[in-house]
Amino acid sequence: MDSRIYQLHLIAGKKAGEERTCGSKNAFETEENAQKASDAHNKWKERRHDVEPYPCAFCHKWHIGNIMPVEVLELFAEDGLYEALGEVVNAACLNEWVKIPNDAFDGLQPIKAGTDRLWEMVHRLRSGEPG
Q: Can you give the pLDDT at residue 76?
A: 79
Residue 131 has pLDDT above 60, yes or no: no
Burial of 118 (0-12, 13-18, 19+ CB in 10 A): buried
Top pLDDT among 75 and 17 is at 17
Write down the pTM of the prediction.
Answer: 0.74
Q: For residue range 45-55, what is the model confidence (pLDDT) as tens digits?
A: 998 889 999 99
Domain boundary among 68, 88, 106: 68
Q: Which domain holds residue 94?
A: 72-127
Same domain assignment for residues 99 and 86 = yes
Phi, psi of 66 (to 5 degrees): -50, 145
Q: Can you give the pLDDT at residue 56?
A: 97
Question: Into how many domains does the chain fold?
Answer: 2
Domain boundary among 68, 86, 109: 68
- Measured CA to CA, the distance from residue 78 to residue 9 in angstroms comes to 13
